Amino acid sequence: MTVVTTASESRRDRKKASARRHILDTAIELFSRDGISAVTIDQIAAAADVGKGTIYNYFDTKESIVVAFMADLERKVQAKVHRLNASDKPLEAILTEFIRFQMRQKRPYHQFVRVFLAQIFTHTNHIVPYLAEMQKAIDPPLEALFSSLQERGLLRSDIAVSELTLIFKTIHMGLSALWAVEGPPFKHTERVLAQEMKLFCEGITANR
């Protein structure tokens, strides 16, 4: 009986995960095409061929769909952090690779990132609570990375990890905006990324 129950729960979980993913993918496609503000839950439900109630089973608002999508992308970074923690590359190369990895994850959704950033800048007060929710997925892998780099003696120990995280995220935000505006093949973004990481790392590298 236990085996049957477990198997049934596993199938149910996979079905729920698949439904959630389908709603996310459909919503992101609509947001990318029409903008977040212009799309309604009714339109997402119609495009996904599900009932409106099904949407609300997974997401409270369309903004929570955006947060869930971005958080899912950020969680993929956590596995990358484990590899970077063990990397013997110089500090500058490690942090540059961290940002490059995130940009590679977001590249298939370049148009959506443009829309998302526009939403941040034009509807700041409305979207701030959702941005705060996103930080719960963004901060832990970054803090883990900086803590590891400090323990390895690559980073100055007199700078708090929380401060390093905030500064790094600010730099990353600017690079993300440049990345979104420029578009493929992102040659200018790559050049600026290399320059910014060089200057940033000169200020935080531990004295040997």
Together in a domain, 109 and 183 = yes
Whether 169 and 72 share a structural domain: yes
Find the mean pLDDT for residues 37-60.
Answer: 94
125 with 178, same domain: the answer is: yes
Q: Which of 59, 85, 101 is the last residue of a domain?
A: 59
For residue 205, give the 3-state DSSP assignment.
strand
| Residue 76 token pair | 């993929």
Structural domain boundaries enclosing 24: 1-59
**Rounded to the nearest 5 degrees, what angle is found at the Cα of 18, between the Cα atoms of 17 and 23?**
100
Look at residues 133, 139, 30, 188 and name the one whose alpha carbon lies nearest to residue 180. Answer: 188
Does 66 lie in the same domain as 32?
no
Please tell me whether residue 89 adopts helix, strand or coil conformation: coil
- DSSP assignment of 115-166: HHHHHHHHSHHHHHHHHHHHHHHHHHHHHHHHHHHHHTTSB-TTS-HHHHHH
Cα–Cα distance, 26 to 46 (Å, whole number) = 10
Residue 165: give its domain's CATH number.
Answer: 1.10.357
Q: How far is CA 163 from CA 142, 146, 159, in A?
A: 11, 10, 7
**Domain shared by 170 and 68, yes or no:** yes
Q: Are residues 52 and 148 in the same domain?
A: no
**DSSP string over 24-67:** HHHHHHHHHHH-TTT--HHHHHHHHTS-HHHHHHH-SSHHHHHH
The single-letter DSSP state of residue 86 is: T
Instruction: Name which residue leads in pLDDT, 2 or 159.
Output: 159
pLDDT at site 1: 46
pLDDT above 70 (res 208) = no
Instruction: Verify that 11 and 25 share a domain, yes or no.
Output: yes
Question: Could you give the C-alpha distances from 180 to 93, 159, 189, in angstroms and in order?
Answer: 22, 31, 9
Tell me the pLDDT tens digit for each residue of 173-184. Answer: 999 999 999 999
Q: Looking at residue 130, what is its pLDDT? A: 82
- Looking at the fold, whether 152 and 176 belong to one and the same domain comes out as yes
What global pTM score does this model have?
0.83
Please report the pLDDT score of residue 94 as a whole number: 93
Contact 102, 175 (CB under 8 A): no
Residues 116 and 84 in one domain: yes
Domain boundary among 41, 59, 77: 59
In degrees, rounded to 5, the angle at the alpha carbon of residue 109 between the alpha carbons of residues 196 and 49 is: 160
Q: What CATH number should be reported for the domain holding residue 45?
A: 1.10.10.60
88 with 188, same domain: the answer is yes
Domain count, the chain: 2
